[in-house]
């Protein structure tokens, strides 16, 4: 049989278009749930409430009202494009034994997870992003990035942010193969993410010690970096490219780590599952 | 024969005891939950600390007053996640699978049964943490709140809990007609997050939305103003009146929903 002799990566490549189509169909089928999931990422707007009220009295550091609006709407967009709920999905599949079916397929589970979540990105873009982008352009046109090189860097950084976020979440999901409480692990992760990535507070306004901790973690690469690119905080291309290199370094590291945790976890899962 | 009320108090006691016994089996959870609530309490303060590091007041609120709002936010979140959410999250699933039928057969009020099905006693740590923050705020202010103000604040917090609970019952009643509402709980929590700031920081549309439609102002800002002694009495009365109206509306819709449910299945 020719399909059995195909190397793993060719099989994955051949299956991808079908997997993506299935993913789109799933997203469309559960559209109401999907919209609700998207609406739960409103925390940036709540933060924006606080900060615009602060900036209405006088600019805060170098941030005026316009900068805050641009920053948090960009956060909302990047978060909507890069976030996913794969941790809950993996937990549910482990609990109900559905993971076994996924493992039977001839492609790596990471590929099937990634396909179904990537497929939901266009749908998200259709619903939320146009509003946000119009809002962003109308309220802060002058500060948005326009340099074509920087726009390319922005596109690459969005892909990088998606990859880091997705593989960290896969890794946390895989922790569920060892312990029951992987959702608790996720909450700890969210706590660090919220503060260190720039989700709650723009990196430029972080106290020095928070910023110096953040520098050694992948969190700024997941949110703060693309957002700052979009709202034109980078004035020199070289700085942006340097941070892009750091981001993609994290991409490689996170993928390797996620694969390792997954492999160890699956060995355990098979050991007592069968 | 004990009265009707006595019977329900007894039932509540049984349900609470069952939940307590269940959670005593997971003592490690106590440590995890405790650590998590302290952890989130700490993170929630970060933006506030950054802002007030450079500003004496924001929208008329100084640091200790804003701290009281966050304190009540934590108390209410503890109540919500400890006493309201655990029971009610399961109901939507029960309605979908038809398991709800068995509940209706029991000789007690269905709303009472679904609302008291499960408690998470460890969430009391959130409540204690919130009270601790409020105490810290008054230490910073260097004064003791007047007894009448404390009493009004407690009454308002009960009103706030009533509104939160009623909103939940409204959502569940809606799920009798629209089946798939499982993740509405996350949306609910996301909106509730806005209650962490004094309502004065929101403007225009958001202020109206959070005061009248989803009464977040009533939940944290009004109790905070009450204990600080700055709440006008007519606002307090209006707020409590609103809470009662909310609860009544939730009860009416619930009964309408139950009627349509039983007639649909038979």
Both tokens of B55, joined, read: 């500003």
Residue A274: per-residue pLDDT: 45
Chosen from B37, B39, B50 to mutate, greatest number of chain A CBs within 10 A: B50
Classify residue B56 by burial, with Cβ atoms within 10 Å: 0-12, 13-18, 19+.
exposed
- Of all residues in chain A, what percent carry a pLDDT higher than 70? 89
- Write down the domain spans for chain A: 2-273
Which comes out higher in pLDDT, residue B117 or A149? Answer: A149
Residue A128: per-residue pLDDT: 65
Q: B57-58 and B61-62 as β-strands: parallel, antiparallel, unpaired? A: antiparallel
* pLDDT per position as a tens digit, A123-176: 777 766 777 777 777 777 777 777 888 888 888 999 999 999 999 998 888 888
Report ipTM for this prediction: 0.71
Residue A37: per-residue pLDDT: 66
Is B54 an interface residue toward A (CB < 8 Å)? yes
Residue B149: per-residue pLDDT: 87
- Of all residues in chain B, what percent carry a pLDDT higher than 70? 95
- Of all residues in chain B, what percent carry a pLDDT higher than 90? 2
Residues B185/B85, Cβ–Cβ less than 8 Å: yes
Residue A250: per-residue pLDDT: 93
Residue B183: per-residue pLDDT: 67
B40–A46 C-beta distance less than 8 A? no
Nearest CA in chain A to B56: A54
**Nearest CB neighbour to A53, from listed B54, B58, B183:** B58
Which comes out higher in pLDDT, residue A122 or B247? Answer: B247
Which regions of chain A are under pLDDT 50?
Answer: 1-3, 274
pLDDT surpasses 80 at B3 = no
pLDDT band at B2, cuts 50/70/90? low
* pLDDT per position as a tens digit, B193-227: 888 888 888 877 778 888 777 788 888 888 888 88
Residues B221/B232, Cβ–Cβ less than 8 Å: no
Both tokens of A151, joined, read: 């726009």
Dist CA B57 CA B48 (whole Å) = 11
pTM: 0.79
A49–B194 C-beta distance less than 8 A? yes
Mean pLDDT value across chain B: 81
The predicted model gives B222-249 an average pLDDT of 87
Residues 4-43 of chain B with CB under 8 A from chain A are 32, 36, 39-40, 43
Question: In degrees, to the nearest 5, what angle opens at C-alpha A33 toward C-alphas A29 and A36?
Answer: 140
Residue A249: per-residue pLDDT: 93
CA atoms within 13 A on the CB side of B105: 5
- Write down the domain spans for chain B: 4-265
Residue A161: per-residue pLDDT: 92
Is B50 an interface residue toward A (CB < 8 Å)? yes
Residue A81: per-residue pLDDT: 82
CA atoms within 13 A on the CB side of B224: 32
Residue A270: per-residue pLDDT: 66
Residue B266: per-residue pLDDT: 44
Work out the minimum CA distance from B245 to partner chain A, whole angstroms.
27
Work out the minimum CA distance from B252 to partner chain A, whole angstroms.
26
Residue A3: per-residue pLDDT: 46
Work out the minimum CA distance from B145 to partner chain A, whole angstroms.
27
Element (H, E) at A7: none
Both tokens of B207, joined, read: 């202020």
- Number of Cβ pairs < 8 A linking chain A and chain B: 80
Residue B40: per-residue pLDDT: 79
pLDDT band at B39, cuts 50/70/90? confident
């Amino acid at each position: 049989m020719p399909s059995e002799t195909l190397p793993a990566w060719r099989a994955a490549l051949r299956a991808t278009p079908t997997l993506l189509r299935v993913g789109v169909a799933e997203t469309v089928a559960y559209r109401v749930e999907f919209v609700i999931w998207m609406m739960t990422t409103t925390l940036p707007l709540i933060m924006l409430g606080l900060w615009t009220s602060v900036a209405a009295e006088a600019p805060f550091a170098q941030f005026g009202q316009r900068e805050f609006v641009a920053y948090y709407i960009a956060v909302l967009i990047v978060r909507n494009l890069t976030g996913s709920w794969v941790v809950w999905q993996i937990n549910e599949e482990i609990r109900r034994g559905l993971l076994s079916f996924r493992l039977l397929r001839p492609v790596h589970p990471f590929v099937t997870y990634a396909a179904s979540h990537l497929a939901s990105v266009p749908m998200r873009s259709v619903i939320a992003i146009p509003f946000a982008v119009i809002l962003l352009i109308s309220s802060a046109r002058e500060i948005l990035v326009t340099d074509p090189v920087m726009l390319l860097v922005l596109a690459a950084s969005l892909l990088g942010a998606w990859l880091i976020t997705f593989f960290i979440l896969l890794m946390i999901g895989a922790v569920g193969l060892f312990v029951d409480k992987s959702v608790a692990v996720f909450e700890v992760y969210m706590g660090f993410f919220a503060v260190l990535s720039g989700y709650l507070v723009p990196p430029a306004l972080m106290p020095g010690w928070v910023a110096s901790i953040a520098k050694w973690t992948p969190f700024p690469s997941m949110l703060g970096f693309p957002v700052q690119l979009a709202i034109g905080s980078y004035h020199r291309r070289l700085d942006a490219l340097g941070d892009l290199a750091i981001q993609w370094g994290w991409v490689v590291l996170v993928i390797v780590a996620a694969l390792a945790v997954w492999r160890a976890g699956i060995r355990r899962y098979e050991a007592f599952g069968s | 024969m004990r009265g009707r009320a006595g019977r329900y108090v007894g039932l509540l006691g049984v349900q609470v005891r069952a939940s307590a016994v269940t959670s005593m089996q997971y003592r490690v959870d106590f440590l995890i939950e405790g650590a998590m609530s302290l952890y989130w309490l700490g993170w929630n303060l970060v933006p506030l600390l950054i802002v007030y590091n450079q500003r004496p007041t924001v929208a008329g609120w100084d640091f200790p007053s804003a701290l009281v709002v966050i304190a009540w936010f934590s108390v209410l979140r503890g109540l919500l996640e400890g006493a309201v959410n655990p029971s009610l999250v399961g109901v939507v699933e029960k309605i979908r699978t038809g398991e709800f039928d068995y509940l209706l057969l029991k000789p007690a009020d269905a709303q009472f049964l679904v609302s008291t099905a499960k408690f998470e006693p460890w969430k009391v740590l959130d409540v204690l943490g919130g009270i601790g923050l409020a105490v810290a705020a008054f230490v910073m202010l260097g004064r003791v709140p007047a007894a009448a103000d404390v009493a009004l604040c407690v009454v308002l917090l009960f009103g706030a809990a009533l509104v939160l609970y009623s909103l939940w019952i409204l959502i569940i009643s809606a799920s009798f007609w629209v089946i798939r509402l499982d993740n509405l709980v996350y949306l609910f929590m996301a909106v509730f997050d806005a209650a962490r700031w004094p309502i004065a920081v929101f403007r225009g549309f958001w202020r109206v939305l959070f005061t009248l439609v989803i009464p977040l102002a009533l939940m944290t800002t009004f109790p905070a103003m009450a204990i600080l002694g700055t709440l006008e009495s007519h606002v307090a009365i209006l707020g409590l009146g609103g809470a009662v109206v909310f609860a009544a509306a939730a009860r009416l819709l619930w009964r309408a929903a139950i009627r349509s449910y039983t007639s649909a299945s038979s």
